[in-house]
Structure 1
Amino acid sequence: MSHESNWRRELAAALSFITRVPVPWTWCDGADMGRASRWFSTIGILIGLWSWLWLWALAPLLGQPLAAVLAVIATIVFTGALHQDGLADLCDGFWGGWERERKLAIMKDSQIGSYGVLALIGAFSLSVLAITSLPMAAALPVLLLAHSGSRAVAGLVPKLLSYARLEGPSKTPQANKPIAGDHLLTLWSPPVLMLIYGASAGLGALFWPLVIGWAVSLGAMLWLMKRHIQGYTGDTLGATQQVVEIVTLLIAVAVLGS
């Protein structure tokens, strides 16, 4: 199989994994899902563009607050609430159990608890309010940065921690996979390009606040994972994506104003 065929299959596999876009199985048949995870930040650009299109189309008709609500809902539907599910499971597990094994068992349970519900309400509210407060002219680069950068930051976790579950099936494509240099290059190229694009669009003031915010968010999530379960799971990757996405939006509001 050629190198070009490999990356096309990986890209199709990544698209099918983190969105609800109907991808024919033949497009990604044989793709290594561990390797395909390097394209998650690239798919994040598509997700950010999808969110912005809803905001751009509906804001003139309904006003920015209602458009922001519908843009966030449309994005959740587009991604199948994959990362929101991880955030809810992390909060239920980390703060709903005392022992490591109990925390992991709660995170694996399909039912949602009070911690998870509150986390989802908080995440949804913060996302909507932040997008509502963004200047419309800055919404496109900010949403691209939020969705691409958050997936790149989450993609660093398997490089820095070991997988927490020792047995049973895993839905985490990065589990126990070596993260090579070319993987990180592919993963981080889109958000770096988005930072350059943002600077060219007059948003250069965002660069260092975002870099610092991403680093602090990653450090905080790694600390929580090590403290509670001594590693990472797919749920913690999804939760990391959500936290970094929201942090990106809040930093953009703080720096750019409304």
Structure 2
Amino acid sequence: MRNSLRALLCAVGYFTRIPIPAWVGYQAGDLDRAARYFPLVGMLVGLIAAVVFWLAHWLWPVRVAVLISTVATVYLTGAFHEDGLADSVDGLGGGYERSRVLEIMHDSRIGSFGAMALLLALAIKLESLAALPVLLIPLALIAVHAGSRLVAVSLLVTLDYVRPDGKAKPVATRLGGSGLLLALACGLAPLALLPWRYAALIVAVWVLLRWAVARYLLRRLGGYTGDTLGMTQQLAELAGYLVCAACVYTSFGI
């Protein structure tokens, strides 16, 4: 139990700004064992986002409340995944050869591709969430934040890490067995908060997205990096919100 708790707290400390107890410390292999808890961390982030939205909506219109909720999640995670999205788009959009793509990704400066990706991603998040009924927004935040991290961590099941060092080096071990089952449970269970048609369509879209991203990364890089994990999480999050908005707009979920 103590080792499991340490692994969970390591995941919280790695992916959020939430302080963790000093006794947790750090040992080699901690983040390998923590990978199974990444969707659970996403559930926590989504829960906080939902609470912030609900409180903000008492004072401001839906769009403003959604924006405040998004600001809260960006602060809570240190823009960890958004940084991965920007770096990945800069590298994949600005480089052709594998070595050049990795070099651009490693550069801390943001380029035009990355800046546009961040702006467009933020716009899609705001508009797709604001298109949902108010009562559905908190549920979508919890479900999609958890599930999108499952999509990202699922890359550890079949792909290899392509950098000799980097932000994802500590989690570069393949995920499988009971760890994979736990990640699946934590990532998929929150979808039960949504209408079943929404949840089924989101899972289908996530499966297709995961297949497409894995295939693309294998072709361009031969595997994944920490930045591409962040990009995958962001793409899955956007896809989840877009599916919910489409279901509402087309009355598919009614």
TM-score category (smaller protein): over 0.9
SS in 2 for 1:231: coil
Could you say what the CA RMSD is over the residues aligned between the two structures, in angstroms?
Answer: 1.4
Q: 1:157 to 1:52 in 2, by over 3 A?
A: same
Q: Which runs of 4+ in 1 moved over 4 A?
A: none
Paired-residue identity, %: 35
Distance 1:215 1:97 in 2: 27
TM-score (normalizing by structure 1): 0.92
Structure 2: 5+ residue stretches without partners: none
Deviation at 1:216, TM superposition (A): 1.3
Q: 2:205 aligns with which of 190, 213, 219?
A: 213
> In structure 2, what is the equivalent of residue 51 of structure 1?
49
The answer to whether structure 1 residue 231 and structure 2 residue 227 are counterparts is: no
The answer to whether structure 1 residue 23 and structure 2 residue 23 are counterparts is: no
SS in 2 for 1:196: helix
Q: Give the residue type in structure 2 aligned to 1:32.
A: D
Deviation at 1:119, TM superposition (A): 0.4
Distance 1:255 1:88 in 2: 28
Structure 1: 5+ residue stretches without partners: none
Asked whether the equivalents of residues 146 and 188 of structure 2 are also in contact (C-alpha less than 8 Å), the reply is no
Aligned residues: 248
Deviations 1:13-64 (A, max 9, x none): 0000110111133224336111101101001111001111111111131110
Distance 2:87 2:103 in 1: 10
TM-score (normalizing by structure 2): 0.93
Distance 1:243 1:178 in 2: 22
Distance 2:245 2:60 in 1: 21
Deviations 1:146-176 (A, max 9, x none): 10000011111011111112x3x2321321x
Distance 1:147 1:118 in 2: 22
Asked whether the equivalents of residues 149 and 187 of structure 2 are also in contact (C-alpha less than 8 Å), the reply is no
Asked whether the equivalents of residues 150 and 244 of structure 1 are also in contact (C-alpha less than 8 Å), the reply is yes
Q: 1:84 aligns with which of 82, 85, 110?
A: 82
Q: For residues 111-126 of structure 1, what are the structure 2 equivalents within 5 Å?
A: 111-126=109-124
Distance 1:252 1:115 in 2: 27
> In structure 1, what is the equivalent of residue 61 of structure 2?
63
Q: 1:180 to 1:66 in 2, by over 3 A?
A: same
